[in-house]
Chain A
Amino acid sequence: MLDHPFDPRRHRLRKRRAAAGPGFRDACFLQIRAAEDLLERLEAIHRPFARVFSLGGGLRLRKAFAGAAFALHADMMERGSDLALDPERLPIARQAFDLIVAPLALGWVNDLPGALVQLRLSLRPDGLFLATLFGPETLRELRVVLLEAEAEGTGGAALRVAPFPDLREAAGLLQRAGFALPAADREVTTVRYRDPWRLLQDLRAMGETAAFCGPVRPLRRQVVMRALQLYQERYAFPDGRVPATFELITLTGWAPHESQQKPLAPGSAKARLADALGVPEQSTGETAKPKA
């Protein structure tokens, strides 16, 4: 079951409903922050990108790329975008873009490696892919108290918060998807909420409540109340506010191109290490070839 834990249709419906709601813009502060961060990284790259594909980048990226020769803004829903799509079945022709930016847009994808391959194929050679994903520290407080409250009440607990790839997995995914010069880094940030209810409200307003497959047992109100009580008891600051942890993992990868730096083949060195270090070479006592 864990091969395909998410129900994309369920997530899309939620996202669509959330986007139509009043609190959506405010609740999307993490998305906006991720978008700002990706834009900063782009500035440091000093290269113009003429054809830009923004996946879930929202208004912030629409403004940022208003000057691009061609910019396509896609999302899971029609609202505010030029194209509605499912990231697992990318409707984009090969080598159509030279920059793809995806801030927190790939969270509810079942087949992340597959989605990354499709994104890579949509890039021209030497095109850049920049994305933000939630990391495993995300909502760790909520995860703990929900599991505990549910186990107390029913003697069993279901997965309520999405599993996220960690930094090493994320970098490995990029490499497996065929990106050159893959890199991943992480930032852990704590958001302070007035109380745990506010956090849940925000997640709902963002459309980021869990969208798992199949007949998920709904959380009973009693369990939610108990979880929020535990949240407050265990994590509250002296002023009564509560923290919510979010881990943002940023992925960078390039579509392969011959101009990019590559490691040399083993044994192709043209200078001796000892010369470079200015020391006499010493044998380690081993011989490369068996003596005749």
Chain B
Amino acid sequence: MTDQSTTDLDPRLLEVLVCPHARTPLRYDRAKQELVSAAARLAYPIRDGVPVLIVEEARELGPEE
């Protein structure tokens, strides 16, 4: 495993990305290393600094999130 606390997402990258399911902006969750789509209730993983914006690979958000 890489030390994820040091990886940070390029803000310019976040600007051009949308949720592939809802086509809405994404929120960067730095602690969990996820990109969160509030509209689709999905969290997309960031693996070794690379966002994986594939619906089948996303985690469904729990009721508390």
> Are B20 and A78 in contact (CB-based, < 8 A)?
no
B20/A81 in contact, CB under 8 A: no
Question: How many residue pairs, one in A and one in B, have C-beta atoms under 8 Å apart?
Answer: 52
Tell me the smallest distance from the CB of B56 to a CB of chain A, in Å.
6
Task: Say yes or no: is A219 at the interface (Cβ < 8 Å to chain B).
Answer: no
User: Is B21 within 8 A of A84, CB to CB?
Assistant: no
Check A70–B20 contact: CB distance below 8 A. Answer: no
Q: How far is the CA of A136 from the CA of B59 in the complex (A)?
A: 38
CA distance in complex: A86, B21 (Å):
11
B38 surroundings in chain A (CB, below 8 A):
none
B16 neighbours in A (Cβ, 8 Å): 72, 92-93, 96-97
Residue numbers in B under 8 Å from A96 (CB-CB): 15-16
- Asked if residues A78 and B18 are in contact (CB atoms below 8 Å), the reply is no
Across the interface, A78 reaches (CB within 8 A) one of B15, B19, B25, B48, namely B48
Instruction: Kindly identify which residue among B12, B13, B19, B55 contacts A83, using a CB–CB cutoff of 8 Å.
Output: B13
Interface string of B21-65 (1 = CB under 8 A from A): 100010000000000000000000001101111111100000000
Q: Check B18 against A85 for contact (C-beta < 8 Å).
A: no
With an 8 A cutoff between CB atoms, is A82 at the interface? yes
Q: Does A91 contact B (CB under 8 A)?
A: yes
Nearest-CB distance from A114 to chain B (Å)? 12
Number of chain A residues whose Cβ lies closer than 8 Å to a Cβ of chain B: 18
Distance in angstroms between the alpha carbons of A85 and B17 in the assembled complex: 11
Is B52 within 8 A of A78, CB to CB?
Answer: yes
Residues of A within 8 A of B20 (CB): 85-86, 89-91
Q: Is the interface of B mostly helix, strand, loop or mixed?
A: mixed
Q: Which residues of A contact B52 (CB under 8 A)?
A: 78, 84
Contact of A84 with B53 in the complex, beta carbons under 8 Å: yes
CB distance from B44 to the nearest CB of A (A): 8
**Chain B minimum-CB-distance residue to A122:** B16
Please tell me which one of the listed residues B17, B19, B54 contacts residue A86 in the complex, with CB atoms under 8 A apart: B54
A9 on the B face (CB < 8 A): yes
Measured between alpha carbons, how far is A81 from B53 in the docked complex, in Å? 12
In the complex, residue of chain B having the shortest beta-carbon distance to the beta carbon of A88: B20
Q: Are A82 and B50 in contact (CB under 8 A)?
A: yes
Expressed in whole angstroms, the Cα–Cα distance for A96 and B21 within the complex equals 18
B-chain residues with CB within 8 Å of residue A84 when the two chains form the complex: 47, 50-54, 57
Question: Chain B: which residue is nearest A79 at the CB level?
Answer: B50
Inter-chain contacts of B48 with A (CB < 8 A): 78
Which residue of A12, A85, A90, A93 is within 8 Å of B15 (Cβ)? A93
Tell me whether A83 and B51 are in contact (CB under 8 A).
Answer: yes
Contacts of A92 in B (CB 8 A): 16-18
25 residue pairs A–B, Cβ–Cβ below 8 Å: A12-B54, A78-B52, A82-B13, A83-B50, A83-B53, A84-B50, A84-B51, A84-B53, A85-B20, A85-B53, A85-B54, A86-B55, A86-B56, A89-B21, A89-B55, A90-B20, A91-B17, A91-B20, A91-B53, A92-B17, A93-B15, A93-B18, A96-B15, A96-B16, A97-B16
